[in-house]
Every structure is written in structure tokens, then in C-alpha cells.
Structure 1
Amino acid sequence: MIDAHIHLDWYNEEEQAIILEDLEKRTIDGVIAVSSDLNSCNNVWKLHQACPHVYPAFGWHPEQKLPSEAELDAIEEMIHKHQDSLAAIGEVGLPYYMKKEDPFLDVQPYTEILERFLSLAKKCDLPIVLHAIYEDAELVCDLLEKHQVTKAHFHWFKGSEKTIQRMIERKYMISVTPDCLYEQEIQRLIEQYPLELMMVETDGPWQFEGPFQGQMTHPKMMEQSLAQIARIKNMPFGTVSATIVKNTVTFYQVKDRH
């Protein structure tokens, strides 16, 4: 199992040690560790150096106050410097939740930052990891086409039927979180989306409800997600698991490191 999206640097040191130990034991095969700002990029890089099965992605998370130009320049410099070791550019996207809280939020600067990272993804030939849900996803699809970026991963995606069909046509990847065990919206998405365009993730340390209530979010939770996908798709667990691992390895080009 490979966790297609985790904020490993957001865990405390004790929790990181637990996950890193499981990676070393190969209980978990790997994690795509996304970044949220410059400091996060540096911390994710240190985690990658500590464990080669932590596959780093550098980016700037949109659900926060705007960064300085110097910070964006420094992140871009890190992307170029470590390009050959990166799994992707991310997490990047648009500030959906901030916009919900403040309907007057000017999203234009956030859109410009996203376009900067899309240009980088195209230039560096790296996949891009997207925070883009509901109506934001439609705009992000437009921007992906504008910048001719085809390797796109919409993590923890939620959106309209129209957007879902558009994403399937473009062969954009999605990833399923452990809330698939209790969220009907995610279960319907699993029914609709092709298995060949699907990965699993935790988005840890985000905590889940249902059977995971009160637990530290750990990549091992993905096993229950895989079982739920198998049930919904009415397919053997082994087929689902093997396909999703293959999808993740192929999309993130971690085969040589896997």
C-alpha cells in the first residue's frame, strides 16, 4: 500500500517515528508526503532523507494567508534543485474553505499562484497534487487544459456529476480517504470513477470518524478503504489492491524507488 497523500510533517515527532518505522518494516510500502509552505518543504525533504520510502512533493497549500514573493521563489528554487527526487508538485489549489468563511475573499492572487505551479509542473514534467473541490474543480480543470498539464491528482475529491465526467474523460486521478466507510458522497464517487484512475490516501494527520474515531490517522487505515472499494465495485480485494498500487506507482513514477 502507498499513501497517495499525507502531511507527514504535520505529525508530532513521536507519531512520525511510528509511521517511519512501519515504512522501514515495509508494513506500508510508501507515502507521498505533500508540503504546505516553504518550512513544510524543508521538513518533508528531511523526512525523505531519513526514509527513502517517503516520496516528497513540494508546493504551497491554498487554505492560508498569501505568501510573500520571496517564499514562492524559494519553493520554486527547491523544486528545481530537487526535481529528480520529487514525486510531484503539491499540495496546491484554490482556497475553497477560506472562501466559504469569507465570500469577499479575492481569489485572483491564489489563482495566479496555482498557475505558477501548473507552469512549473509542465516545465519539470512532474505530476501535480490538487486541493480543488466542488465549483473550484471546474476552474482548475480549465487551468490544467490551459497549461497543458495532464498528470493531475485531485486528492479527497468531491464535485458535481459534470465535473466528475470531465475528469474521467481527461484521465485525472482521484484518491479515496478512510471516510469512504461512512460518507455516502464518497461511496457514490467510488461507484462512478474508474478503478484505473483511483488511488487511496489518508490526508493525515486529519482524523476520521466512524470506526476510526479518536485514532491517530495512520496509512494502515487504507486497508479498510481498499476493502470498501472492493465491496462497492464488487471486485476481489486482491484485484483492487494490486490495481491501486499499480496506479500509484505509475502515476508518481516511484517504481525505481519502490
Structure 2
Amino acid sequence: MIDTHCHLFLEQFDDDIDEVLERAYAAGVTHILMPAIHFGSLSRMDELEHPHIAFYKMAGIHPTQINKGKKTSEDELLEYCSSEDIVAVGETGLDYYWSDDYKTEQQRSLRIHCKVAKELDKPIVLHNRDSTTDLLDIIQDEQDGSLRGVWHCFNGSVEEGRRTLDLGLHLGIGGIFTFKNAGVDKTVAQLPLEKMMLETDAPYLAPSPKRGKRNEPAFVRFTAERLAEVKECSLNEVLLQTDRTAKQFFDLS
């Protein structure tokens, strides 16, 4: 399994990172992709190692960090993302949940990330909270046929999901998808499996039956098992397809 969105570098894992990685390996996790929250995240990512798990880094500024005064220029982001060990640009996106006072700044940052992703031909990883219309409108505006991206932690409607796919994006399927009252499973059932990738967003949004606990990469299996149920196929089919999609999308070795 490939966990395509995991914040293993955060302090929530400081006390037991070795055990977390051993549980991930035992669950079948072979690759872990780590989106940045800000550029300071990168040095923490470099500290992670495991003999049987491959780690991959992204570079970007999370939209909630924009609210705190973090910012980047196109030149600075380009310099970070040009590194060969950076597989994607992000995470970026929009988040109006905590405050909508920074819409202009967040949207400007998102456009910078889109431009860099296109220039480097690397995928972009999109955070979206209470901002779907603006997010997809900006992606539509920036899409010139070369922008590749994933709506991480997809929780939209069927119509929003179809528009996302029409814009050339993929869907990141994580813990919210497994929540009984969220309704995301009914939406995902109507969208194509080949456009989906598995993720945890650890340490956040642990899937059922671990909801409310600290999330970790091993829990991606619960999401995969639920996806197999929803798509009415075998777990092996889900793992083969989502792994294949993630490897192609992120150009993983």
C-alpha cells in the first residue's frame, strides 16, 4: 500500500516513530509521501528512515500557514521544488474554515503553486476546506492541459467529484470516507476507482474503527478495506489499482 499523504514529521510522532513505522510495514505500507506544511518541514522529513519503506517529499505552504503570515514567491517555491527529491508541489489549496479573512492571500499562493507545478511538470496536492467553488474555479483558470493534481481528503459531492476529474485532477481517499455519517462513501461509489489514491493525512482524521485516535500510516488499510466494500471488488483489486495510480501520478521509482 502507498500512503500518499502523511505528516510523519510532526511532533505527534516524536515519541514512537520507530514503532509507528514498524506497524506501517506490518500492515503492508511500502511507500509514504509527505506533503509539507511549510519549508521548515523538509529538514524533519530527512530524518525519517526505515529499511523497507520508501519516503518521498513534497514542498509547499499549507493555506492555514498563509493565515499565520507564511508566504512564498514563485522563485523561492521553484527553487525548493526543483530538487530531484521533491516529487510534488504542496500541500497548497484553500481553507476558509478557520477564517475567510485571508482569501486573497491564499488564492495568490495557490496560483503560485500551480505555476511552479506546471513549470516543473510535477503534480500539485490540494487542500480544500469550505472552499470548493473557489478552489475548482482557480484550477480551471490555471489548467492549460499540463496541470496534474489531487484533491487530498476528497469529501465533495458527486457533481464536484466529476468536475474535479474533468479538470484533470485525481481524488485522495482518506479517513473521512470511512465515517458513517459523512456520506462520502456514497459519492465515491459513483466515481472511477482508477482516479483514486489512498491516504491517511496522519496524524489527523483517523478512519473508522480508529476514529478519534491519532492517525498513522498503518491505518490506511482500513480505508482500503472500506473502498473495496464500496466499489464491490476485492481488497487486492483496490490495492493494485491505487498503487498503480499513485506510482504513475507521482512518478515513483
TM-score by length of 2: 0.86
Paired position in structure 2 for 1:221:
219
Once the two structures are superposed, the pairs formed by residues 15-26 of structure 1 within 5 Å of their partners are: 15-21=16-22
Paired position in structure 2 for 1:55:
56
Matches of 1:213 and 1:164 in 2, distance apart? Answer: 24
How many residue pairs align between the two structures?
248
Distance 1:49 1:72, change over 3 A: farther
Post-superposition offset of 1:129: 0.3
Once the two structures are superposed, the pairs formed by residues 223-242 of structure 1 within 5 Å of their partners are: 223-242=221-240
Paired position in structure 2 for 1:94:
94
Unaligned regions of 5+ residues in structure 2, if any? none
Matches of 2:9 and 2:219 in 1, distance apart? Answer: 18
Quick one: which amino acid aligns to residue 94 of structure 1? L
82, 102, 113: which one aligns with 1:117: 113
Matches of 1:52 and 1:210 in 2, distance apart? Answer: 24
193, 199, 202: which one aligns with 2:200: 202
153, 176, 179: which one aligns with 1:179: 176
Distance 1:140 1:181, change over 3 A: closer
Matches of 2:73 and 2:19 in 1, distance apart? Answer: 31
Q: What secondary structure, in the 3-state scheme, does the structure 2 residue paired with 1:130 have?
A: strand
Contact 2:117 2:123 in 1 (8 A): yes
Higher helix fraction (1 or 2): 1
Post-superposition offset of 1:21: 4.2
Matches of 2:201 and 2:230 in 1, distance apart? Answer: 22
Name the stretch that deviates more: 6-15 or 233-242.
6-15
Once the two structures are superposed, the pairs formed by residues 123-162 of structure 1 within 5 Å of their partners are: 123-134=119-130, 136-147=131-142, 148=144, 149-162=146-159
Post-superposition offset of 1:208: 2.8
**2:250 corresponds to 1:252:** yes
Cα offsets for 1:200-240 (capped at 9, x unmatched): 11100114364204543222212121111111111122111
Paired position in structure 2 for 1:67:
69
Once the two structures are superposed, the pairs formed by residues 68-87 of structure 1 within 5 Å of their partners are: 68=70, 74-80=76-82, 82=83, 84-87=84-87
Cα offsets for 1:155-196 (capped at 9, x unmatched): 112224432221122341111113333334221122122100
Cα offsets for 1:64-97 (capped at 9, x unmatched): 32435578865543222x1x22120111011221
Post-superposition offset of 1:50: 9.5
Quick one: which amino acid aligns to residue 118 of structure 2? K
**2:35 corresponds to 1:34:** yes
Matches of 2:49 and 2:207 in 1, distance apart? Answer: 29
**2:110 corresponds to 1:108:** no
Distance 1:23 1:106, change over 3 A: closer
Name the stretch that deviates more: 69-78 or 161-170.
69-78
Matches of 2:198 and 2:236 in 1, distance apart? Answer: 15
Quick one: which amino acid aligns to residue 137 of structure 2? D
Paired position in structure 2 for 1:169:
166
Quick one: which amino acid aligns to residue 63 of structure 1? T
TM-score by length of 1: 0.84
Distance 1:174 1:27, change over 3 A: same
Quote the RMSD (CA, aligned, Å): 2.7
Q: What secondary structure, in the 3-state scheme, does the structure 2 residue paired with 1:9 have?
A: coil
Matches of 2:247 and 2:60 in 1, distance apart? Answer: 20
Q: Percent identity?
A: 23
Q: What secondary structure, in the 3-state scheme, does the structure 2 residue paired with 1:89 have?
A: strand
Contact 2:206 2:216 in 1 (8 A): no
Contact 2:30 2:54 in 1 (8 A): yes
